Structure 1
Amino acid sequence: MKFLGRWRPLAEDGLLAAGLAVLVTAIVVITPGAGALDVAAALAGSLALVAWRRAPLAALLAGTACMLVLAVHARPGPVAAYPVMVAVFAAVRSGRPVAAAAASVVFLGTDLVLNLPEMTESVEGLQGSTLLIGWFVAAGVAGTVTRHRQAYVAEAERRAAEAERTREEAALRRAGEERLRIARELHDSLTHSISIIKVQAGVAVHLARSRGEDVPPALLAIQEAGGDAMRELRATLEVLRDTEAPDAGAPDGEPAASGLDRLDDLVERARTAGLPATVTVSGTRRELPAEVDRAAYRIVQEALTNVSRHSGGAAATVRIDYVDGELVVQVDDDGAADPAAPPVPGTGLLGMRERVAALGGRLRAEPRPEGGFTVRAELPAREPA
């Protein structure tokens, strides 16, 4: 389509030049006293209009010269002026009115000299010359109008582009302000609460150890989870506040620290919290795109959280499969989910679907026929360039 678009103006100019060449040459051929020189001048002057759009001055000079030769030698009448008028229009349209006026004066002056005897003898000769002058004036006016219209369209396009750029800048500014507002809200609400949980858990652990008592695993899990939550929250706040240039390693406001390299810690925390969980990794481990790595970690995290929350006493199995061009993440549990009564998707499942869809992958989250629930995500994981 682009190829056709580039050649379309040339084809249109070629048709215009060919049509004028046929018209002028046909009249020259039937003109008494016309010879081969006149036919050649008619063809050359008409075909020069092929360049009226790309080289208007060249088309004006060639057309005017050839048509002057034709007008002086064969005197075919007003038809000799047609290519010159088109060339005058092209010159004015391209912003060269002086050259167009000079060519018009030369051609019309020559025509007046040649037709002066007829003008003195009959009114028809005077009317013909006057009409020819009017045609040239009309060609100049049409070229001027076209030039102004092109300038108006160009200015309108420039203003539209400027308005679009301004809208984009305003949208980016509003997005930056909203990110700062969210960062402030998260800091004021969550940071304080998580800090209290972490401090209280640490105090409880310290008191238990100072008394020589065994620290409950759940308490250690709370302490560790509080520390992880605080680190991730701080990383998220840093990304949200970096409104000018978000960290390349943490798009979408995600902390760069969340990835499959921390999968063992995640599963260990789940075990500490009372959820029996195992991890199986198959295939050849390889470097993953950062967004795929984070999405896989978040899917496992959310799936284990759902098992702990909704399937009390269930065990979970985490499988990570590295296959050709794809990463398969699957979390199964042996809870009491019923295939006949699938759960209503909550925010966690919706978030997982959005993550997977954004990466062009596939997600299946549903009860298993043999009981329990399964979450399976297939993510494109080609080697980064």
Structure 2
Amino acid sequence: MGIPGDYDPEERAFGTRLLTAYRYAYFVLAAITAAEFAGHDQPIWCFVVIAALPVAFWVMLPPGVDPTDWDRRGRAHLLVAYAGVIALSASRPDGILIMYLLMPLTFTFIEAMTGALLACICLFGVNGAFQARQAHWAPDRVVSLLIEVTVVLGFSFMMARLINWLADRVEERGNLVRELEATRAELADTHHEAGVRVERERMAREIHDTLAQGFTSILMLIQAAGITVDTDAEATRKRLDLAERVARDNLAEARALVAAQGPAEGEGTIEPLADLLGRTVAGLGEELEMAATFKVSGAEHELSSTVQVVLVRVLQESLANIRKHAEAGSVTVELAYRPFATRLTVTDDGRGFDPGPGKGGYGLTGMRARLAQVGGEVELHSTPGRGTTVRVEVPQ
């Protein structure tokens, strides 16, 4: 059976409490046994043996002993205790109450139930034989001893089963606790990985919608300036100035991302949303030398900074697509405030494309992901040769 000897805290605590109970019970029963022997004028060596047994148990299984040694030390003590009790039985077989403590100890430290039962039968059999001899093998005394031994063995067996059941429950509980801790650790790792993945996706969207688009604008402006550097100094200077402004904006965006403060603009407290969107549209018109119109309709209402950032990023992505792909001559952007929603519409007269399933790149995917965060939706209408319209709507 054995005491739970693993290093699981609950199993170790159960075994520690059980050994503590055995130690104190040992001293109590030893004192009662010594009192019984004292009334019958027994030799001094009997009292030495009686006193030595609880002391030996305390020495062999002291508090703080390594749990992995509990069973081994306990079996060694049983050999000493059995020898001591048999010696006491030879001197005076009745009144050895300390013997009854050896029964649960035997079932505790000997795992094999059959072996523990045989050891107990042997101990009580020897003691009973000494008592029967003392009574000159009187039939009634022999029967009485058989009944007594049977009852004691049965009680000890039931106590051992109870201890075994408690030990099993403690072990099961320890296993459940370990499984729960392992599951919690796995969930924590999963949540951490999910958080890392979400953060990477967020950073990818931020970089795509800000820095990558800014660098694209700078590259296009420098290429355009290179074309006119020998023929139109004023146009070249204008494009270089615009490239410098875009570079400064990109630098501000990069610093904001590094500082984990979100976008450098568009949070409402720095610049009104309509002004920021209008300036962004005008910048595209200036950069591409095309007609760019921005208008606001409806009664303006306050939007959260998160919604404002989403609208700014959607506009930046739409204008970036126009810059890179549309070859448009004009673009119209409308910010419409509605009673229960805000709508942003971006229309160009460029070459358009087929918006069928599987079409569109990372920018459109990132746009949908951003809108999903605020419960918004996007509609895309485009026909090859007839321009493109992007319409997004976010709830108020």
TM-score (norm 1): 0.50
Report the structure number with the largest CA radius of gyration. Answer: 2
TM-score (norm 2): 0.48
Higher RCO, Cα 8 Å, sep 6+: 2
